[in-house]
Amino acid sequence: MAEMQPQDHHAYMRYALGLARKSPPKPTNFCVGAVIVDQSTNTILADGYTLELDGNTHAEQCCLLKLAQQHGVAEEQLKDVLPPHLALYTTVEPCSKRLSGNLPCAERILRLAGVIDVVYVGVMEPKEFVQENTGRAALEKAGVRFEHVAGMEDAILKVAKAGHSS
């Protein structure tokens, strides 16, 4: 992996898109890639993609589960062991509802409010599965910035919807 410059949001989003391409295409999921970056050191702490880990896992969930494993803690305890000033890059807006019954990604990120300062997204969640994603509002209310990285929408949606019929 080429070294990315601090705050090069497009480079991190391209990296996340490369991860999304590893997601197995399914009609019931979006293929998403996510990266957690320590903004203080410009270091990638974890990355993930949809269905990378066992279960019906989302990209953000995979990042957090990997971090928990690295630190030997439960996911719920990550706030106690992670450095501050983290950024999450995700190709698609974190979900606010899981039809599978799993904890939504926005709620997982909310646990880390104050550690994750900002969420960068490539596209807002398409309405195929959940008509109204309320995650952005909840994150912003908790003090987590939410920023759109423009210019890659077509490529992200093409990958995200792989396996969908339309």
Q: What is the pLDDT of residues 59-74, one digit of tens each?
A: 999 999 999 999 999 9
Instruction: Output the pLDDT for position 127.
Output: 60
Domain regions of the chain by residue span: 22-160
**pTM of whole model > 0.85?**
yes
- The catalytic residue among 60, 75, 93, 125 is 60
* Matching CATH number, 22-160, of 3.40.140.10, 3.40.50.300, 3.40.1210.10, 3.30.428.10: 3.40.140.10
CA 113 vs CA 44, 53, 86, 116, 141: distances in Å: 18, 24, 10, 6, 10
Instruction: Output the pLDDT for position 131.
Output: 56
Among this protein's residues, is 128 annotated catalytic? no
Strand-pair category, 33-38 with 43-49: antiparallel
Instruction: Output the pLDDT for position 101.
Output: 76
